[in-house]
Structure 1
Amino acid sequence: MKKRTGSLTAAALTLALTTAALSGCSSAPEKETTIATTVAESTTGKETVATEGAKESASTGKYYSADAKAKDIVEDAAKKGKVGNWGLGNEYEVQALLSKYGQNTAFLSQAFDMDGFDDNSILLASAMTYNELGLIKNTYQGGYGYGDTVNFIDMNNEGVAMLEDNIFTTKEFASANPNTVKAFVSASMKGWEYACANPKEAAEIVFNAGSSVSSEHQAYMAEEVKKLVETDTKGNKVTELGKLDDEALQQTLDLAKKYIKLSDSTAAEKLQTLTLDDFRDASYWNDAKDGSTLGKPEKADVSIQLKWLPQAQFMGYYVAAAKGYYKDAGLNVTITPGGGDIGETTAVNSGQVDFGVTWDANLIAANAGGMNLIAVSQVYQRSGLVLVYKKNK
């Protein structure tokens, strides 16, 4: 077992994912809709551990060979009941991967740290490339220091990727304030473009804004987030940052319909009828990209609700503010950090803030539950979720 150095930051950061997932399952204030969690069944695989442990199929217990195929690793870990995920809305890609290889979609409930991976109670652990994976590999504060002795299964490569961070608002706000939305998207994407071109500086800007992690982890995050913004699910370079890719969005919607389980029957039925037009509108991004039809913002003072505390996951917005891009667009933008029980979809839907950052699956679930939200820009063009495992020594 590796010994961690310093205080653990994964627990705090991963909480952002569960906050986002829960907010995506909330409906309009007058009606509550929840996702039926599968974590309750996630311990069912434990009873197979003893027998499977004696067989040691594709693995040597705690480790997998460097040339092992994803299929063999997934099958082995799943049969041992040792595929981990946080649940609460973050599990859909993992379930899709398990289904792809003919396994039960049950998973082991993973804590908001990587201790389960460290002590081998989880063989395949969920991690975000820009967060937990960095903590697993690196030796800085909160790191586990595994270096290159770990490898991971990429959801994009496996064809089960679901898109993550976007910029969204309500359909009503966008309709009443089209110039404001275009100006905000335009300035935000300028911020993202600069941040991706200068990730080290972007990390410093976020750190100075009140970073929730160490400067070393912030720098690591910036480099990894850059990859999610500049590369699509197929590994191609993205030339138009923030573009809403309908093919990737449709895959996200299809997987959402299959794996999101809503407790409210009306919401569950509505989920199955949703189309791309129900949760995205590319016209604002198209006009913002063109730049010729921006016009004067109808509302100059606006706010954006983040999913979590200041970190490089959101570096484009902090850069846009620091570099004056929002001011140049005629906007005075308040960046509102997330945390605790703050739900970004609820905050935007209720009018507490004008814009928000969320995952598309959250948006889909929220609209199924009665909200009226639309994505106006897709910042992350590929999934950042991976399943990490230890390699043979």
Structure 2
Amino acid sequence: MKRRTGKVTAAALTLALTTAALSGCSGAPEKETTQAAAVESTTGKENGTTQAENTGKYYSADATPEEIVVDAASKGKVGNWGLGNEYEVQALLTKYGQSTDFLSQAFDMDGFDDDSILLASAMTYNELGLIKNSYKGGYSYGDSVKYIDMNDEGVAMLEDNIFTTKEFAEANPNTVKAFVRASMKGWEYACANPEEAAEIVFNAGSSVSSEHQAYMAEEVKKLVETDTKGNQVADLGKLDDEALQQTLDLAKKYIKLDDSAAAEKLQTLTLDDFRDASYWTDAMSDVPLGAPEKTDVSIQLKWLPQAQFMGYYVAEAKGYYKDAGLNVTITPGGGDIGETTAVNSGQVDFGVTWDANLIAANAGGMNLIAVSQVYQRSGLVLVYKINE
């Protein structure tokens, strides 16, 4: 099996710190690892379930998702970071009759590389590229890996959106609309010119190599322009109620909140409690917008500069924010304060987060609303090795 050629540099996932505080995993990382190890010797066949039939150390290229999930789960070798998108993994495990426990996965892919994890979480635009490619930080597996797509499996949850507080939006409607319009213009240009967009992000202080940045831009483009069913998106940034409802339904089933009042509130949330499509609708219309009530605004990203956020960097570089009458500060993530907390506390005006994080935050007492849905499908996959 091919091995990696370099050392992974940046942390591999954009994680929501607020959700870590609010929701947690199916258990503490130590507990998850212990539980997983305890079942490692139990095979799917012994439990009367389907197990992948292997003629080698890994999986056959034509093994079904069910066979792979059951086999990896029975060995306690399904991994996830456990800080915001484990719910899709848990939904997939449930779909195939498995325990929702998982291994606590590190922010590199070393556990996948050394076979500690057989079925590892990866974002299509980040870890999957590191696993497959041979550039700096890559593991060079090439075509010797395949993956299970959450969209194809019907358990996708929507990720990067643009959100603010309900109070800010009501007090500054023109500002919100102007920001959404300029941002989506940036995203449209970035998706039409991913190579240039990657270069813009790299020059803004990239957290990864230029080669990986270029890979990321091409993959992020797919998440923005394609929905959970594989259809081409006609209107970038649209809040798709069907996909959002699926996200909410899965959130209610799998997000676990320690506070009983928050847990109870979670079950009562509706789409209207965490999204307002009117700002996007007005922003994307041909109707002239009024003067922004607030011209100096800021947006909190989930992570360091990378093509995951290329639309905002392009909007800044191309002058789209300036043309909209805005002076925008783009604040990278990765600090001690999560994006939902930063927006809710008024430290910044806008943020980028996953919808599950927004749902958990509002259940915990915040009053945040998504005003645009940038990613139209889930970027999470579970990657596995195949026999060569």
Return the letter of the residue paired with 2:6.
Answer: G
Counterpart of 1:41 in structure 2 is 32
Q: Tell me the equivalent position of 1:327.
A: 322
The residue that corresponds to 1:13 in the other structure is 12
TM-score (norm 2): 0.95
Partner of 1:29: none
1:325 aligned partner, one-letter code: Y
Deviation at 1:2, TM superposition (A): 3.9
Between the aligned partners of 2:224 and 2:54, the Cα distance in structure 1 is 34
Q: What CA distance in whole angstroms lies between the structure 2 residues aligned with 1:3 and 1:146?
A: 7
Structure 2 gap segments, 5+ residues each: none
Partners of 1:74 and 1:236 in 2: CA distance: 26
User: Does the CA-based 8 Å contact 1:25-1:365 persist in structure 2?
Assistant: no
SS of alignment partner, residue 19 of structure 2 = helix
Q: How far off its partner does 1:36 sit?
A: 5.3
Residue 148 of structure 2 is aligned to residue 159 of structure 1: no
Matched, 1:304 2:271: no
User: Are residue 386 (structure 1) and residue 377 (structure 2) matched?
Assistant: no
Moved over 2 A (4+): 1-7, 33-43, 47-62
Does structure 2 conserve the Cα–Cα contact (< 8 Å) formed by 1:34 and 1:264?
A: no
Matched, 1:117 2:112: yes
Establish whether residue 222 from structure 1 lines up as the match of residue 221 from structure 2: no
Q: Secondary structure at the match of 2:39?
A: helix
The residue number in structure 2 matching 1:30 is none
Change (3 A) 1:259 1:51: closer
Give a deviation string over 1:81-105, Cα, whole Å, max 9, x none: 1111111222100000000001110
Counterparts of 1:360-371 in structure 2, within 5 Å, are 360-371=355-366
Q: Which residue of 1 aligns with 2:94?
A: 99
Taking structure 1 as reference, are residues 91 and 221 closer, same or farther at Cα in structure 2, changes over 3 Å only? same
What is the alpha-carbon distance in structure 1 between the residues aligned to residue 64 and residue 23 of structure 2? 36
TM-score, normalising length from structure 1?
Answer: 0.94
Aligned-residue sequence identity (percent) comes to 82
Cα distance, 1:110 vs structure 2: 1.0
In 2, Cα distance between equivalents of 1:3 and 1:25: 32
* Per-residue deviation, 1:57: 4.7
Q: What secondary structure does 2:43 align onto?
A: helix
Amino acid at match of 1:7: K
1:172–1:100 CA distance, 2 compared to 1 (3 A): same
**Pairing 1:359–2:354 present:** yes
1:375 & 1:355 partners in 2: Cα distance?
10
Q: Is the 8 A contact 1:302 1:333 kept in 2?
A: yes
Q: Aligned pair 1:260/2:249, yes or no?
A: no
Single out whichever of 369-378 and 33-42 deviates more from structure 2. 33-42
The superposition leaves residues 219-269 of structure 1 with CA deviations (integer Å, 9 ceiling, x where unpaired) of 000000000000000000001000000000000000000000000000000
Shift of 1:392: 1.2
Give the direction of change, closer, same or farther, for the CA distance of 1:66–1:371 in structure 2 (3 Å limit): same
* Structure 1 stretch displaced more, 50-59 or 356-365: 50-59
| Contact 1:256–1:361 (CA under 8 A) maintained in structure 2 | yes
CA contact (8 A) 2:42 2:74 kept: no
* 1:3 aligns to 2:3 (yes or no): yes
1:47 counterpart letter in structure 2? A
Query: RMSD of aligned C-alpha atoms?
Result: 1.6
Moved more, 50-59 or 81-90: 50-59
Q: How does 1:66-77 map to 2 (within 5 A)?
A: 66-77=61-72
